[in-house]
Amino acid sequence: MCGINIKMAEKMSEIMNTHEKCENEISRMSFIRKSHEHTLTQLIEQGVMEADKNGFENFRPTLYNISSSINTIQGHDILYRLLEVNKTRVLSVTVQYTLSITNNVVLRFPSLTNYTCLTTINLKKYPFYNFLDTDNPDVTVSFGLEDKVLQLPESINSLDLDHVTVSGIYSLENCKRLEKLTFNHIDLKDNNILRLPASITSNDLRHVTVRGGVSLENCTMLEVLTLEHIDLGDHNLQLPATITHLKLNYVTVRCRVLLDKCTLLEGLTLKQFDIEDSNLQLPASITSIGLCHVTVRGGSHWRTVQCLRCLHWNTST
């Protein structure tokens, strides 16, 4: 239809996406929903190519949830066009890239400040791509013409970046609805400190480089925190009282991990961790502790743990 009647094709895309959007609003298994979103995005992308071949360059299809796999520069250009024509209605953007490149490449995305309905952003390598092609350099993402600061719309609820370099400074403090943040293999060297909004409930940082550490003092709703392969430098790890589960793997903390006020903390997992007696005070609420390659010196403050039901350890002393 995209090669015959462009107006009819646009109407058909609107009907299909409205149906898919309604399907997502009812309780369905997430992997089925994501599969539908990916299939529909592929169909629209093929429609864009068909429209171009037939001289319909102003094809404006409807997409509420974009789920795309990018393996060519042409595919990236089509994604950019789909984002631009749906800036006032797109709800989620999920992009997995498998670009075969020998040098680092810059993928250009539009500025997201005007995407007033956007709630979810996921940018990452294809799941098996890292394992099969570990020498391939990461992709640099540029948002808009000016990418000195990554400005996200206030509507953002979930942000997941994996093996992506975004040049400039991350500004997340204005994302007052942001609840879930996941960074994996992200270089934040341009940021003096990563400040997070108070709305964060789940924070997962793995292989993240940031000069001034991570500020969690304003995260008064944070419940789940995972830190892996992170050097927190000479800063205390000050956690809010709302924390229920904490996981620290290969984390360097030269000062103190302050947990004594985390009266809701139930699960604690430590891996490759060296605990000085004065550096870790556990609250009485702890019910489960997992230790792997952990050295504990002293241990007098562990006597305050009164509700412990489960303790796992592996090569810990």
More confident residue, 297 or 295: 295
For 200, the 3-state DSSP assignment is coil
Residue 255 exposure: Cα atoms within 13 Å on the Cβ side: 10
Query: Quick check: is 84 in a domain?
Result: yes
Residue 210 lies in a domain: no
Give 25 or 140, the one with higher predicted confidence: 140
63 and 86 Cβ atoms separated by less than 8 Å: yes
How does pLDDT run across 92-106, given as a tens digit for each residue? Answer: 999 987 765 555 667
Note the pLDDT tens digit of each residue in 30-79: 555 567 888 899 999 999 999 999 998 889 999 999 999 888 888 889 99
- Work out the number of other CB atoms within 10 angstroms of the CB of residue 54: 12
Coil, strand or helix: which one is 258? strand
> Token pair 């299909």 is at which residue?
16
pTM for the full predicted model? 0.83
Residue where a domain terminates, one of 25, 41, 63: 63
Pair 179, 233 in one domain:
no
**Token duo for residue 209:** 């480089």
Statement to judge: residues 10 and 32 lie in one domain: yes
Range of the domain at 98: 64-188+195-204
Task: Output the CA–CA distances (angstroms, integers) from residue 308 to 92, 215, 279, in the order listed.
Answer: 41, 29, 20
Could you tell me if 114 and 154 lie in one domain?
A: yes
Per-residue pLDDT tens digits for 166-186: 766 677 878 899 999 999 888
Phi, psi of 56 (to 5 degrees): -95, 80
- Which one has a higher pLDDT value, 161 or 236? 161
Of 100, 103, 105, 93, residue with least CA distance to 68 = 93
**pLDDT band at 189; cut points 50, 70, 90:** low
Q: Does residue 214 surpass a pLDDT of 70?
A: yes
What is the DSSP secondary structure assignment for residue 286, as one 8-state letter?
Answer: -
Rounded Cα–Cα distance for residues 35 and 274 (Å) = 43
Residue 137 has pLDDT above 50, yes or no: no
pLDDT of residue 300: 47
